[in-house]
Amino acid sequence: MSLRAVIYILAMGALAAGGCATETAWRDPGVAAEARAVEFLKREVPAWSRDNGCFSCHNNGDAARALYKASQEGYLIPSPALADTTEWVAHPERWAQNRGDPGFSDQRLADVQFAATLAAAVQSGAVKDPHAMRAAANKVAPAQAEDGSWPIDVANPAGSPATYGVTLATYMAWDSLKRVASPEASTAKRKAEEKLRAVKPDSVPNAVVLLLFLANDHEGSRAGAIKPSLDFLRRAQTSDGGWGPYADSPPEAFDTALALLALVEFRTEAAVPEMVQHGREFLIAMQLADGSWPATTRPSGGRSYAQQISTSGWATLALLATR
């Protein structure tokens, strides 16, 4: 068990008992932010399927992925918090039978999101079926467009926490497909790689996707493409440490989380550790008292439960990755 997980357990126990040890255990603001986020997600992740009788891309997608990651980092996640999600994502053949509102559902997005959650569940050990990811790939691959992308939320170039947008959706689909050895997955993966190598770092989400892809693209030439993306993120970071969707945009929790998840892959590059630390401080400062983060919406300032839950999932993943 990690030291931070031990501190978290002590903090939770002291909080429940009203003891003064909480102040000592939570002296590190990063530990406190992680712990509050995990507590929030433990409550919210199972609530959607329980209250609505269906599974969502926000609670059972991004937010659940954060809980699976937290469990790998030593946080104690009680079985009820993830039991329904685990059972759902472990059976891709059922995904099309989800009982959500058709007016607010996109099966392509759901398949990409649930496949990513399944990958996190497999990595954490919650799902042990070796064939589940192949079944998920068989759901994801057919939705690929001729140009190699997954055309999700096409009207929104910068994407959003819950709906991703074309570039992030393509990366997330590719990340699931690369875990599967099958002719269908391999063909879709190659087409996606061509598309991802052509991404231009002209927005924060695009620069992030390019960096995340290049960090795992062992066949392509990395060096020449990494510097422009890192330079873009350096220029786009605001004075208070966050990032918005574009270089001149006000900072948002989602875009900041994305940037941190990419930068941590290049932590040995010049000035990256300072960028990461400043970004973490911004995320911690933005966290709400209940452990969540304000919803990142496009345009900014909107209200959306789905976007808030996904924003909080992405922010939690970023804190865990950059601790």
Please name the fold of domain 3-321. Answer: Glycosyltransferase (1.50.10)
Please state, in angstroms and rounded to a whole number, the distance separating the CA atoms of residues 279 and 139. 36
Q: At what angle do helices 107-124 and 64-72 cross, to 10 degrees?
A: 10
Confidence of residue 205 (pLDDT cuts 50, 70, 90): very high
pLDDT score at 4: 55
Question: Is the pLDDT reported for residue 24 higher than 80?
Answer: no
DSSP assignment letter at 295: P
SS3 222: coil
pLDDT attached to residue 14: 41
Q: Which stretch of 3-12, 13-22, 219-228, 246-255 has the lowest confidence by average pLDDT?
A: 13-22
Q: What is the Cα–Cα distance from 296 to 274, expressed in whole angstroms?
A: 24
Query: For residue 35, what are the CA distances in angstroms to 29, 181, 320?
Result: 10, 37, 10
SS3 252: strand
Give the pLDDT band (50/70/90) at residue 225. confident
Residue 2 pLDDT: 56
d(CA 68, CA 206): 26
**Global pTM?**
0.91
